[in-house]
Amino acid sequence: MPPADPIDPTDPTDPTDPADRFASTESHYAAHRPAYGDQALDYLRDRFALDDDARVLDLGCGTGQLSIPLAPSVGQVVGVDPNEAMLEEARRGAEAAGVDNAEWVVGSDADLGTMRDDLAPLRLTTMGRSFHWMDQGRTLDHLHGATEPGGGVALVTDGEWLTKGRESWQEEVYAVAADYLDDLPERVDPDSVEYDDPWDAKLEAFGFDDTETRVFAVDREWSVDGVVGYVFSLSFASPATFGGRKEAFEVDLRERLTALGGGPFTQRARVEVISGKTSA
């Protein structure tokens, strides 16, 4: 399973503070990161028999793209993220959605050792677009000890389209961003990259059995505002990374998108869910 971001959080030479990785993206993340879609959410509800007795942890929850839609199906959802501003956006989103059974906690995978007893027992832990940032073995070890029999872990991702998208309009967006950002990751064909440590095998290695990988096709349409906001939601293309050139970049990007017809721009996305269960 390919990581969704070019930075390896387990690399000891990476000095990035987890709370700072998405600094300045928060409002854009809340407004413009796409939902995972009903198929993936229904799959999680059915596979883990989510009900009023279930407690769900959303680790690296961001602004609640998984926490908020799952909350009505469970007794309690706990969203954990190191970025307080992300959690503020999640609180606002939950209130707007009428969700009153969510708790939002500042923390990360590094805090699971001290949080585990308070979190347990967990029916399900979700990690949406976040597992690649974590110390994965340590995280799964802690979660296995906090998960109720028959519960499990689900890793949810949909790829990152600025550097891995196949659409021609996505390539145009990348070209504009590359004019402004020196450290922009290269565009790659996601099918051409091989990984030695697939996530389903990692789940099995830490005691999560009955692993499944499910892929759901999702058709998305992007407005000009949505495209601009998505770019600014990325850790490596946050408003802060552009510095004083942010406004000029946005003007140029909007002009390029207008020249391409002004949208809506279509995307055939793939939402992938890799999950495993503890022994019942």
Give which of 169, 174, 166 is closest to 262, Cα–Cα: 169
Report the 10 Å Cβ neighbour count for 276: 23
**Distance between CA atoms of residues 258 and 151, nearest Å:** 48
CB 56 within 8 A of CB 119: no
Question: What is the overall mean pLDDT for the chain?
Answer: 93
pLDDT of residue 16: 67
**Distance between CA atoms of residues 154 and 59, nearest Å:** 10
Question: What number is the average pLDDT over the span 73-93?
Answer: 98
pLDDT at 6 over 50: no
With pLDDT > 70 as the criterion, what percentage of the chain qualifies? 92
pLDDT by residue (tens digit) across 172-230?
Answer: 999 999 999 999 999 998 766 555 579 999 999 999 999 999 999 999 999 999 999 99
Distances (CA, A) of 111 to 66, 101, 106, 139: 20, 22, 10, 9
pLDDT by residue (tens digit) across 117-127?
Answer: 999 999 999 99
pLDDT by residue (tens digit) across 11-58?
Answer: 433 446 888 999 999 999 999 999 999 999 999 999 999 999 999 999
Sheet containing strand 102-106, edge to edge, reads 102-106, 76-81, 55-59, 122-128, 147-157, 265-277, 209-222
Residue 158 pLDDT level (bands cut at 50, 70, 90): very high
DSSP per-residue string spanning the chain: ---SSS--TT-TT----GGGTTTTTHHHHHHHSPP--HHHHHHHHHHTT--TT-EEEEET-TTTTTHHHHGGGSSEEEEEES-HHHHHHHHHHHHHTT--SEEEEE--GGGHHHHHHHHPSEEEEEEES-GGGS-HHHHHHHHHHHEEEEEEEEEEE---HHHH--SHHHHHHHHHHHTT-TTPPPP--GGG---SS-HHHHHHHTT-EEEEEEEEEEEEEE-HHHHHHHHHTSGGG-HHHHGGGHHHHHHHHHHHHHHTTS-PEEEEEEEEEEEEE---
CATH tag, 18-159+191-218+271-277: 3.40.50.150
Q: Per DSSP, what are the bridge partners of residue 212?
A: 275
| Extents of the domains making up the chain | 18-159+191-218+271-277
pLDDT at 110 over 70: yes
CB 104 within 8 A of CB 87: yes
pLDDT of residue 12: 34
pLDDT of residue 190: 73
CB 265 within 8 A of CB 211: no
Question: What number is the average pLDDT over the span 242-263?
Answer: 98
